[in-house]
Structure 1
């Protein structure tokens, strides 16, 4: 007898009892509903009875859709949906006004199915959209004035809107491994030159042998990068000076890493 076509994995059924037992209390008293790594394929409706939780973790499951009923979680401050199979997000996500953390990394989201209503999350501090299929970012995300960290890595982006790059509180923007054109790479080079120009510079005689050697290596790297890029209209000149000021920290590597995180 021929077997019928498979319907795909049904996933684990989450009961209200299971969900209640999965609630954890954090050190600050927040109630976190942790349903990560549970093999869930369908959003469990039973958890709507626990909509007063502060944090919801549905990461590392097999969810393809989040229902509009997510709007019932009005107390949510932290929502983790990373590493699922989400192809779209509900517009009602924009009603979660208390949300400050949203992770939807490693899904199957396209720019077309990224809801415009994300710009309503006025209190959002951290947004991770990495490892999806986004070929553009809506300029409306520039309305997220409280955003401090934004992950856009491993997508199909060729540009980032100025409204997003100029967010007033943005400290970390990870857009690595996107097919940006050469023009953007040039702009990144010019930005790095501007950062160096604003540093406090020192003369060779003020550096110890170890710091001097490290500085020279960093300068050589910069020169190699500079030779690969078109020269900016304004040439910078630092006669008798080396970058950067190694006296600011004992270890030059510390200085370099610190600059990368600013």
Structure 2
């Protein structure tokens, strides 16, 4: 797609967008506008109500329009590595979404709408590399969620509702200022170590006896990740969770500069 640079960034016309729309082998219609220097969400995209996937990652977008709820056919939305400080309430109208990536923005907890709880078909939600310190308890309704990324934020504890998500298989909360209780009841910062990189959030029933013992042992420094992964494949549903960490993803800040 040709880039039309202006004082406010790259301009995308409806004609440009229609030309860039591609049909995938699975029949989904995908529009990729990644890394194009877009600073303002192209309003013309709101007319493409037949899109299944939209990639606007690695741009400079600061605000999403309320009209984004009109894109009711969306199943996949990637907005990582932009400059979003909030998300509009209307995103809750995208009830068909199974994938939502808001990683590497400037989001605060106050900027997340309560309507996120309406996205009950979400399987993957990436909120990493933001400024979040809490999530709304109503997000417990995201019962289809399988992957949740919260890394590189400001969480001092894992959101309580996460433990109730029965289909969740992976949570990444690495590099947050997590707190832990010590014997006298006072809270202190959790000490970090190089071995924390390869830890999953899993139910105890998915661990072999040795891994379970290590997870329960505060002094344990190693986790048999291969064993854990094997258990995850064998058994997918569970009601409770332990060990609030997971495998870290590659730093999303790199994505913005990749071609």
TM-score range, shorter chain: 0.7 to 0.9
Q: Which runs of 5+ in 1 are unaligned?
A: 1-7, 202-217, 230-243, 245-251
Q: Which runs of 5+ in 2 are unaligned?
A: 1-5, 182-186, 237-259
User: What does 1:42-81 align with in structure 2 at a 5 Å threshold?
Assistant: 42-81=40-79
The Cα shift of 1:21 comes to 1.6
User: What does 1:89-238 align with in structure 2 at a 5 Å threshold?
Assistant: 89-183=87-181, 195=204, 199=208, 222=214, 226-227=218-219
Provide the C-alpha distance between the structure 1 equivalents of 2:93 and 2:61, rounded to a whole number of angstroms: 21
Displaced runs of 4 or more, over 4 A: 259-262
Q: 1:50 to 1:142 in 2, by over 3 A?
A: same
8 Å contact kept, 1:97–1:122: yes
8 Å contact kept, 2:206–2:232: no
Task: List per-residue Cα deviations over 1:172-194 (Å, max 9, x = no partner).
Answer: 111111001123969x9xx99x8
Higher RCO (CA 8 Å, separation ≥ 6 residues): 2
Task: List per-residue Cα deviations over 1:46-90 (Å, max 9, x = no partner).
Answer: 112212111111111000000001011000000110000000100
8 Å contact kept, 2:66–2:90: yes
Provide the secondary structure at the position in 2 that maps to 1:17: helix
Provide the C-alpha distance between the structure 2 equivalents of 1:177 and 1:11, rounded to a whole number of angstroms: 33
Q: 1:196 to 1:15 in 2, by over 3 A?
A: closer
Provide the C-alpha distance between the structure 2 equivalents of 1:35 and 1:53, rounded to a whole number of angstroms: 13
The Cα shift of 1:45 comes to 1.0
Provide the C-alpha distance between the structure 2 equivalents of 1:21 and 1:35, rounded to a whole number of angstroms: 11
CA RMSD of aligned residues (A): 3.4
Equivalent residue pairs, number: 213
8 Å contact kept, 1:68–1:92: yes
Task: List per-residue Cα deviations over 1:118-171 (Å, max 9, x = no partner).
Answer: 001111111110000001111111111111110000000012222222201111
Q: Does 1:21 align with 2:19?
A: yes
Which one has the largest radius of gyration? 1
- The aligned counterpart of 2:33 is 35
Q: Which of 221, 227, 230 is matched with 1:255 structurally?
A: 227
Task: List per-residue Cα deviations over 1:188-243 (Å, max 9, x = no partner).
Answer: 9xx99x84996267xxxxxxxxxxxxxxxx99x959x64489xxxxxxxxxxxxxx
Provide the C-alpha distance between the structure 2 equivalents of 1:28 and 1:139, rounded to a whole number of angstroms: 35
The Cα shift of 1:260 comes to 7.8
Provide the C-alpha distance between the structure 1 equivalents of 2:225 and 2:175, rounded to a whole number of angstroms: 24
8 Å contact kept, 1:54–1:76: yes
Give the number of the structure whose residues are more often helix, by fraction.
Answer: 1
